[in-house]
């Protein structure tokens, strides 16, 4: 399969601007609507998940609930999915230590079905905090995508190599993913950059990329009282301001902008 060639994208600089963490706060959802970039994914256990229905929307499959507020509970009753208080595990390491793959797959399926019940036309799936990175979990993640004939955000070999993971896990993941029949993308993420450096970092990060298909993660949120409750709200506010900046928009427009809906429709001729 050469999906990029068949979509006329081979040899081009192609970008998906992807809004992570929709549904966790109204501040995230408002930023999505204000910015106007169509692609994002929703945490279905989030309190604000039902607010968004239209757009190039996927499911941000959620096995972790990292903050003190807001906390999230699983949609299913799998006994390995939650801590003693009934909340999803706080860290990815907790998930990889405790969660049974069958429980995780049932929970992820339930989250996809919850989106469909809201009449969201699910265009793709991705994963909150990369929690499906354990090899058996990423196999389940791919199965779900193939069952629904939708793309799953899968990192390419360069993205895995750059990830802050033990080498043995990188090797195991690549062994799983190199057998995948689903397309893979180069993941770009400026998260963790100081807010005052975000604009320059976005411009540098995007400008240095050659031909390829890139998935740019951002977490834009408006600085409401609710939005300021998030521990990293300054970073999220900086993402909002950066993506509305005219110089950044100019660099973004040097790419062919792609949606997962377009990718999904092309992929369905293969699966």
From CA 271, how far away is CA 267, in angstroms rounded?
A: 7
Active site residue 103: no
Active site residue 219: yes
From CA 167, how far away is CA 189, in angstroms rounded?
A: 20
Q: Considering only CA atoms, which of 124, 80, 74 is closest in space to residue 265? A: 124
Residue 9 in 3-state DSSP?
Answer: coil
List the catalytic residue out of 60, 82, 215, 219.
Answer: 219
Q: Considering only CA atoms, which of 126, 115, 96 is closest in space to residue 53? A: 115
List the catalytic residue out of 20, 21, 56, 103.
Answer: 20
From CA 269, how far away is CA 129, in angstroms rounded?
A: 30
Q: H helices within 149-245, ranges in order?
A: 157-162, 167-177, 198-207, 233-243
Residue 75 token pair: 């949609």
Contact (Cβ atoms closer than 8 angstroms) between residue 129 and residue 60: no
Hey, which residues are catalytic here? 20, 219
């Amino acid at each position: 399969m050469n999906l990029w060639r068949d979509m006329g994208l081979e040899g081009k600089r192609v970008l998906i601007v992807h809004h992570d963490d929709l549904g966790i706060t109204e501040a995230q959802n408002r930023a999505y609507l204000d910015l106007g970039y169509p692609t994002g994914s929703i945490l279905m256990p989030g309190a604000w998940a039902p607010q968004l229905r239209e757009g190039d929307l996927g499911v941000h499959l959620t096995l972790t609930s990292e903050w003190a507020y807001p906390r999230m509970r699983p949609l299913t009753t799998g006994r390995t999915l939650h801590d003693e208080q009934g909340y999803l595990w706080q860290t990815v390491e907790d998930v990889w230590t405790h969660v049974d793959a069958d429980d995780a797959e049932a929970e992820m399926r339930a989250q996809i079905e919850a989106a469909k019940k809201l009449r969201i036309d699910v265009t793709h799936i991705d994963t909150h905090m990369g929690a499906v990175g354990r090899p058996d979990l990423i196999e389940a993640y791919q199965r779900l995508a193939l069952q629904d004939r939708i793309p799953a955000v899968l990192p390419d070999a360069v993205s895995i190599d750059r990830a802050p993971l033990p080498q043995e896990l990188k090797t195991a993941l690549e062994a799983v993913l190199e057998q995948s029949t689903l397309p893979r993308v180069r993941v770009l993420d400026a998260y963790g950059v100081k807010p005052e450096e975000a604009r320059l970092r976005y411009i540098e990060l995007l400008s240095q990329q050659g031909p390829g298909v890139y998935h740019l993660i951002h977490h834009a949120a408006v600085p409401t009282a609710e939005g300021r409750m998030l521990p990293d709200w300054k970073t999220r506010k900086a993402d909002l301001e950066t993506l509305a900046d005219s110089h950044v928009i100019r660099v973004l427009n040097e790419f062919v902008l792609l949606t997962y809906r377009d990718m999904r429709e092309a992929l369905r001729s293969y699966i």
